[in-house]
Amino acid sequence: MQNGTGQNGKAQNGLAQYAFDKLSGAQGDADDLPDGAQKAEAPNALRHVGSLVMSKLADGLIDPKLILAWLLTSLGAPAVFAGALVPIRESGALLPQMLMASRVQAMARRKWAWIIGSAGQGVLAALIVLSALTLDGAAAGFAICAALGGLAISRAACSVSYKDILGKTVGKSRRGAITGTAGSISSAGVLVLAALLISGLFESKGIVISAIALAAVLWGAAALLFSTLTEMKSDPANATKARFSVLREDANLRRYILVRGLLVSTALAPPYFVVLAGGDGGSPLSTLGALVFASALASLLSSYVWGRISDQSSRKVLMLTGIVGALAMLGAVALSVSGLATRVWAMPLVLFILMTAYHGVRQGRSTYLVDMSPDGQRSAYAAVSNTVIGVLLLVAGFIGGGAALLGPNVTLVLFALMAVGAAVVAVGLREVEGVD
């Protein structure tokens, strides 16, 4: 019996290794991992993919930029609540990380921070569903925004811990492929939702609420799968506390944060595409579906590719995505000026290009930070970086809001200039993947 079990275990490990090699292009052992982590790398990588597929799919199903904004409008909530969704989600997921980082680094196994965060997002997503089913108007706006704030804090726990966990369990020069694979696979599920919205079979908010309920289940399942990850114990005594003084000590980190701060324009721009697509009459469910479809298709086709390129040079990815994002924003402005913005194909087309750049930004910035950070300091670097970005995001949001008084076209031009600036500043980043 033991022989059979042992052979079965070897076969499973061999299959996991084969799948991992194909996904990542890995050749040989990861020299930057200890022996125990090297042996568990392949099955761990597949657990990363599975957990991230579910959590990223949940993200897509509850997207504040598109899904929640449309839901609040359908519930009769004042427009101010829809406008608050992106700042609540993004800043709420970033600003608490300095406080969380020391707690995470005091843990011998940091995976439990991610598990708690994922489960918390599931619970808060369920509260959004309950609010949508029982409330309307301003009451729905308050309740959903409050639940989204709690969800964002749970997301912060996942964010501040994940880069450290990834660095401990998957070797350098294959991490981007793992996260990119998850991004592409999860996008296929969002495409199904988009197709249902476009089909016209569902003309009520029920399909959107059902999608958010599914997101709640997926976050819970992701937490369960992640709990099976084999993570070597960390010595909390060797960890570095998250302090802003690291910004004074590491010039490359300062430049990275500036690049990432300028690239928040790719995250803030999509709502203005929605405005241009709807024209004066607002956006029907089918228009929402077309925009969701374009966003998900961009992730499906580009995330894995961006991940593999990031494993070679995440610096170059950050440079390229700034230029591509700027071109998409200027393309939207050109369509608006020419009177073509409300055509059924127009905004989905340029949104596809923008979201392709956005997913490249996500892959590039994540891979760069993990590969740049010294061992034992990934959580500290992530926390400092994300906290600063959270503040910059609020500033950029206010600037964008002020520019919006002059219209979406002016705002998008401003965001395009930010993206170009990011590409220019990224030229001076140090290569961290060993590619010149």
pLDDT in tens, 417-430: 999 999 999 999 99
Mean pLDDT for 64-78 is: 85
> Per CATH, is 42-230+243-426 categorized as 3.40.50.2300?
no
C-alpha–C-alpha distance, residues 343 and 350, integer Å: 12
- In terms of average pLDDT, the best of 91-100, 266-275, 390-399, 409-418 is 409-418
Instruction: List C-alpha distances in Å: 272 to 153, 269, 344.
Output: 26, 6, 16
- Closest of 9, 41, 1 to residue 166, by C-alpha: 41
Whether residue 280 has pLDDT greater than 60: no
Mean pLDDT for 42-68 is: 92
- CB neighbour list of residue 123: distance below 8 Å, 6 or more residues apart: 154, 216
Output the pLDDT for position 401. Answer: 62
Mean pLDDT for 44-63 is: 94
Mean pLDDT for 255-272 is: 89
DSSP 8-state class, residue 282: -
C-alpha–C-alpha distance, residues 135 and 308, integer Å: 45
